[in-house]
Structure 1
Amino acid sequence: MKNILKIIWLTLVLGVCVITGTFAQQPAGQNYWVVETNLKQRDYSIVRFYNRHNELIYEEKLNNIYLNISRPRHVKKLNLALGQVAGKQFAAVSSQKIVSGYYRR
């Protein structure tokens, strides 16, 4: 009985270690976005897009818009904007507002 409990315990510990290691890794070569929002006033959001080398490629301030990234619709719109930003040259992107186009009222 003790041997069976040891085997079960060891299996659970190894399983947790493998699962934790899997979730801790980020896929290499991905562009990503970061949203900065004032939680007290919620009167603006700043969206920054980075390339796979962690270099800032685009930044936009959205006045009077609060982005809650726990909402799927906001994540979807930011991912669409990321696709536009990543597909264009920086000079072409900096002359227009990309993210605010998804949030016009």
Structure 2
Amino acid sequence: MKKVILFIALGLFSLTGLAQRLPKYLSEKGFWVVETNRHQLKSNIVYFYNNSNELIYKEKVEGVVLRLNKRRVKMNLKKVLDQSLLAYEQQKKGRENEMLLATAMGKR
């Protein structure tokens, strides 16, 4: 009986080690939303928000199809989100179309 209880307890403790971690492309301080025109796939508007759901940055990206299933694109979006959050914390003012995402993705 003691072995069964010990085995069950050991099994329960080992399950906590299997908890899922957040992917590296997700930020703990905010999130982003991409709006795409389904008739013009190369026209996107990316909105960046903090965790209080306040719009901190908005950028219109033209001429590029954002492939959101690619890790590199998600990492670039996180990078711009972190830059925007830092600037927002300093200025307390939302910004728009400063080409941060286009620069991060290598489009000039």
Considering Cα pairs closer than 8 Å and 6+ residues apart, tell me whether 1 or 2 has the greater RCO: 2
Question: 2:59, 2:99 within 8 Å by CA — same for their partners in 1?
Answer: yes
Distance 2:54 2:95 in 1: 15
Secondary structure of 2:53's partner? coil
**1:66 corresponds to:** 65
Matches within 5 A, 1:9-20: none
**1:97 corresponds to:** 99
Residue 95 and residue 46 in structure 1: after superposition, are their counterparts in 2 closer, same or farther (change >3 A)?
Answer: closer
Q: So what's the TM-score if we normalise by structure 1? A: 0.63
Residue 76 and residue 44 in structure 1: after superposition, are their counterparts in 2 closer, same or farther (change >3 A)?
Answer: same
Percent of paired sites with the same residue: 32
**1:3 corresponds to:** none
Residue 50 and residue 40 in structure 1: after superposition, are their counterparts in 2 closer, same or farther (change >3 A)?
Answer: same
Matches within 5 A, 1:15-34: 30-34=29-33
Q: CA deviation at 1:92?
A: 8.6
Structure 1: 5+ residue stretches without partners: 1-21, 24-28
The CA RMSD measured in Å over matched residues stands at 2.4
Structure 2: 5+ residue stretches without partners: 1-18, 21-27
Q: CA deviation at 1:30?
A: 2.9
Question: 1:81, 1:98 within 8 Å by CA — same for their partners in 2?
Answer: yes
Q: CA deviation at 1:31?
A: 0.6
Residue 55 and residue 71 in structure 1: after superposition, are their counterparts in 2 closer, same or farther (change >3 A)?
Answer: same
